[in-house]
Amino acid sequence: MDRQRRADAVDQEMAARRLPEEAVTALVHWWGDNAARFADATPGAHTVRYTPARWARVTPWPAALAPRSTGGDAGISRALVTTAVADALRRGAFTEALVATYVWGKGKRGTPGGSGPATLEKILATGGLETALAEAVTALDEHGGRHAYAALHRRVAGLGPSFFTKFLHFAGQAIRPAHGPRPLVLDRVLARRMRSLAAGVGRESGHDPDGTVAAWVWADWDWSPHRYEVYLSFMHAAAEQLSAVSGWPSNAAPELLECALFDTALDTAG
């Protein structure tokens, strides 16, 4: 069996099995520790710290974020980004929406001249960025997450999936896709969680006994539109699975699972 056929077989096994018992246990434990933070069973309160002054040269700057003249640090939550992105998209201000999601994604890792503000400045200076973002939002609205992902995949230099899926996720809160599941964030940490799950399934099923296929399809970056579709399908199905589990909120949104997986190390590969 060639590598792609083995990968497809592992994907099918994961879709059928969903989350293994040890992953469910770890996630329920995470919820027990974090229920007070996320009382509405969404990760809207998930807040990161950032230093507004370090983003002084970035424009356009969303009004919902702290002024860049603010001294010290400020907080930016998922709920705040959701509001900022919804407002920006209503006005067709696509780059402004990207800035809000990028600052949230970087947080205090953004330093003057560093990979945060400096990289974002280069991205914002890219010709055709506004068009690319607008086309992705249209694709999301009309066709769903995979098509929106494809519209940005390798489209804008410096803007990789770890950050443009943040843009798609928050855009998906404002513009619910007509087809398929809502977009979720997929970054290196979450890909590694999926790799761990896939390696366990591959070993148990015999389709990937040494984990090389899992390492290939769930690499650290540059996932294909197909891989993103597999991710969304799995995550939404796993969220449904968890909704019936004692100790996990039955009304939880899939993005709560995404947040929990980001925070929870999994060891399912043996």
pLDDT tens figures, 77-112: 999 999 999 999 999 999 999 999 999 999 987 554
Query: Tell me: the pLDDT tens digits for 21-58?
Result: 999 999 999 999 999 999 899 999 999 999 999 999 99
Give the end of a domain, one of 174, 196, 215. 174
Q: Would you state the pLDDT for residue 176? A: 86
Q: Is 50 exceeded by the pLDDT of residue 144? A: yes
Task: Based on the fold, state whether residues 232 and 259 are members of the same structural domain.
Answer: yes
**One-letter-per-residue 3-state SS of the chain:** CCHHHHHHHHHHHHHHHCCCHHHHHHHHHHHHHHCCCCCCCCHHHCEEEECHHHHCCCCCCCCCCCCCCCCCCEEEEHHHHHHHHHHHHHCCCHHHHHHHHHHHHHHHHCCCCCCCHHHHHHHHCCCCHHHHHHHHHHHHHHCCHHHHHHHHCCCCCCCCHHHHHHHHHHHHHHCCCCCCCCCCCCCHHHHHHHHHHHHHHHHHHCCCCCCHHHHHHCCCCCCCHHHHHHHHHHHHHHHHHHHCCCCCCCCCCHHHHHHHHHHCCCCCCC
Query: How much is the pLDDT for 235?
Result: 98
pLDDT at 267: 62
pLDDT of 270: 45
Flag whether 179 is in a domain.
no
Domain boundary among 150, 174, 198: 174
Range of the domain at 195: 3-34+187-263
Regarding whether 236 and 193 lie in a shared domain, the answer is yes
Residue 54 falls within a domain, yes or no? yes
Position 221 scores a pLDDT of 93
The pLDDT value recorded for residue 115 is 66
| Domain assignment present for 270 | no
Model confidence at 184, pLDDT cuts 50, 70, 90, reads very high
pTM across the whole model: 0.95
Number of folded domains that form the chain: 2
- Residue range 211-269, pLDDT digits in tens: 999 999 999 999 999 999 999 999 999 999 999 999 999 999 999 999 999 999 876 54
